[in-house]
Amino acid sequence: MSTNRAAMLEKLADLDAQHAVAVAGGGEKYVERHHARGKLTARERIELLLDPGSAFLELSPLAGWGSDFTVGASVVTGIGVVEGVECLISANDPTVKGGASNPWTVKKIFRASQVAEENNLPTISLVESGGADLPTQKEIFIPGGRLFRDLTRASARRQPTIALVFGNSTAGGAYVPGMSDYTVFVRGGAKVFLGGPPLVKMATGEESDDESLGGAEMHARVSGLADYLAEDEHDAIRIGRRIVARLNRRKPELRTRDACFAPGISTSKQGGHRISGDSSAAFAEPDADPEGLLDLVPTDLKEPFDPREVIVRVVDGTSERNGRPFDEFKPLYGTSLVTGWAQLHGRPIGILANAQGVLFSEEAQKATQFIQLANQSDTPLLFLHNTTGYMVGKDYEQGGIIKHGAMMINAVSNSTVPHLSVIMGASYGAGNYGMNGRAYDPRFLFTWPSAKSAVMGPAQLAGVLSIVARAAAEAKGQAYDEEGDAGMRAMVEQMVEEQSLPYVLSGMLYDDGVIDPRDTRTVLAICLSVIENAPIKGAEGFGVFRP
């Protein structure tokens, strides 16, 4: 077994362990208690809601990693197929602190609603939450208001919102069903009120009980907040599926080559999940085995690897219709960045992938041109990161590396075709920006366990700090503390190394998840299907370029 493979397998075993923590939710004791109450867990609810055998693309499973809160942030979010319709699903996990929302929960739900907005997806909320996490209320109360605003704005954009209420949904939480287009309340389970019996007693002196204040039956028969009364949790999920079936969702007309009435190829483009079993299924599996992806990434990211070896394991293979898997653009120019056209599960994509790590002026100019071409042809873009950033040094500065890097960042920022990013290895400095890092709003961004992201490499950052400190001491005429310097460098290096790791970044919601490289093709295929729910239209103009 290669050293690279052994190292990657070790990282993947660790990733499995981290995901297992997220899947365990509040842990055995709380899950058992929940089941003993005759209730389903968040993940069981999701599984029953989805079309049998279909995939669930979970988002931000490691949210809150490294914080004081349970990994996963007491909510499960992701995209799944319900009655043939791709939907954004958000399910409170009542086994974690009663499903209460902490600062990471709020950030995770914000990200989920951004995904629903950008990709024109209906939202299904599976509600059972103790509301705000009271000890951290100051961090969530004010920004958290956006949760309810997002729901009603989604509705105004004609992106339907459905709330299935299984349990507690009180105080601010009551506005989740309150702002949703369709509500289903479980008899004997849903409890939806602005204030519970103790609070009402305190406020007005009135004696009351849960059912009369916020029970499912009351809301279905009296207040009118519940549109459907479900007999139990399974019934609520059944009703939720029927609601989606009646939404009459259709994907916009697709722009695939099938539109030219090629003989023998169906021209039907109507709706639904198109991962397989439809006209775009006329694609070949990759020419090289994706298993080989585990051998590619060197343990030392300073060693480059050829991204064509990744591409050929991720995109559709050779076929009569597809031709070669990858048509490289400008292969002889700016060779540290590979650009070219391919298709993935039958869908066209343009790819930009770092080769030797550093981006020079030529690479930046090539990227700028390529991004414009993709916009001209309404082709989504995939960025495969392994970059240490733009080149520094006198010759490069004089050669205009800043203005060329700026051109690339301009093109990435103003491009309007959907972007997907995968951080395979390094993603440092402004290279992270030019290659469409998180701040540049790729529709989806996934990370391999081998990834590292920071303003620069740990050794470089520690070295820069040391040089600056030495110069400051000299300027003040003081002797420089050499022993202290070595200690400071070691400490900073270790700190930056730790902060650059994928779990830390994923925990902070700087990606949508850490994935096994072998799943890259499947994950991207789901993303490409999801983005087709909104029209794909290239930019008509960019910012002013300084050539």
* Chain residues that interact with ligand COA, rule: CB under 6 A: 97-98, 100, 130-134, 168, 170-172
Q: Report the residue number, 155 or 208, with the smaller CB distance to ligand COA.
A: 208
Q: Report the residue number, 186 or 408, with the smaller CB distance to ligand COA.
A: 186
Q: Report the nearest approach of ligand COA to the CB of residue 214 (Å).
A: 12
Q: Report the residue number, 129 or 183, with the smaller CB distance to ligand COA.
A: 129
DSSP 461-516: HHHHHHHHHHHHHHHTTPPP-HHHHHHHHHHHHHHHHHHTSHHHHHHTTSSS-B--
Helix (H) or strand (E) holding 183: strand 182-186
Measured in degrees and rounded to the nearest 5, phi and psi for residue 184 equal -125, 125
Residue type present at position 215: G
Q: Report the residue number, 161 or 170, with the smaller CB distance to ligand COA.
A: 170
Q: Report the residue number, 17 or 142, with the smaller CB distance to ligand COA.
A: 142
Alpha helices in 54-145 (DSSP H): 103-118, 137-144
Q: Report the residue number, 133 or 181, with the smaller CB distance to ligand COA.
A: 133
Measure the CA–CA gap between 165 and 154, rounded to whole angstroms.
19
CA-based torsion, 349, 275, 117, 88: positive or negative: negative
Q: Report the nearest approach of ligand COA to the CB of residue 155 (Å).
A: 23
- Closest C-alpha among 334, 326, 333 to residue 309: 326
Q: Report the residue number, 172 or 286, with the smaller CB distance to ligand COA.
A: 172
Residue type present at position 48: L
Question: Which residues, other chains included, contact 304 with Cβ-Cβ below 8 Å and sequence gap of 6+?
Answer: 355, 356, 357, 386
Measure the CA–CA gap between 440 and 511, rounded to whole angstroms.
12
Q: Report the nearest approach of ligand COA to the CB of residue 210 (Å).
A: 10
Q: Report the nearest approach of ligand COA to the CB of residue 22 (Å).
A: 18
Place of tokens 């969530």: 140
Q: Report the residue number, 131 or 517, with the smaller CB distance to ligand COA.
A: 131
Q: Report the nearest approach of ligand COA to the CB of residue 475 (Å).
A: 51
Q: Report the nearest approach of ligand COA to the CB of residue 38 (Å).
A: 13
Measure the CA–CA gap between 64 and 147, rounded to whole angstroms.
18
Q: Report the nearest approach of ligand COA to the CB of residue 171 (Å).
A: 4
Residue nearest to ligand COA (CB): 131
Q: Report the nearest approach of ligand COA to the CB of residue 240 (Å).
A: 22
Q: Report the residue number, 102 or 427, with the smaller CB distance to ligand COA.
A: 102
Measure the CA–CA gap between 61 and 79, rounded to whole angstroms.
12
Question: Angle between the 42-49 and 233-245 helix axes, to the nearest 10 degrees?
Answer: 40
Q: Report the nearest approach of ligand COA to the CB of residue 30 (Å).
A: 7
